[in-house]
Amino acid sequence: MGSNDDIMHEFVRKELRKLYPSVDGWQIRPAAKTGGKEQGFVVSRRILGRTEGAHVLVSFDRIVAPATIDTLAAMSRSEPIPGLANPKKILVVPQNTDLSSVPRAMEVLPMQSFGWEDKELVWLKRRAQMSEKATAAKSS
């Protein structure tokens, strides 16, 4: 039986597969040195004789902590992408996350599935479905 974290990370993997589709040659693999509430991935592809790729760290924290930035930097150092000297570093976070400690050189991708509303992490798709059902019920 999986935990909530497993389910949440599965939504993130789906989002990554949309951004980096295997049909375009992208390979997504879990990073070896991450775990717990943060999940890391290495995405890469070789196309037209050159390599593209990035180190991706997923965090569900409301405020990005300096330790999260350090984890992504360490992952980048410990898992080099062959043929790529300076891969992108991407942080995937829920919408409305406090990004004040994130360096400008780091790319941030807001999740489509999760977001912060005040101090509550919500499943955005579920909220949209609930709103549609409520609107439909009022119309009938």
- Does residue 127 have a pLDDT over 90? no
User: Tell me, what's the pLDDT at 97?
Assistant: 96
Residues contacting 16, CB < 8 A, separation 6+: 28, 41, 43, 56, 92
Helix ranges, the chain (H): 4-19, 66-78, 124-139
Count: domains in the chain: 1
Question: What does pTM read for this prediction?
Answer: 0.82
User: Tell me, what's the pLDDT at 34?
Assistant: 60
- Does residue 126 have a pLDDT over 90? no
Question: Residue 82 belongs to what domain range?
Answer: 4-139
Give the Cα-Cα-Cα angle 17, 5, 106 (nearest 5 degrees). Answer: 55
Going by pLDDT thresholds of 50, 70 and 90, the confidence category of residue 138 is low
> Phi then psi for 109, rounded to 5 degrees?
-115, 115
What tens digit of pLDDT does each residue of 11-32 get?
888 999 999 999 999 999 998 8
Beta bridge partners of 28: 43
CB 55 within 8 A of CB 87: yes
User: Tell me, what's the pLDDT at 69?
Assistant: 93
Distance, CA of 80 to chain centre: 19
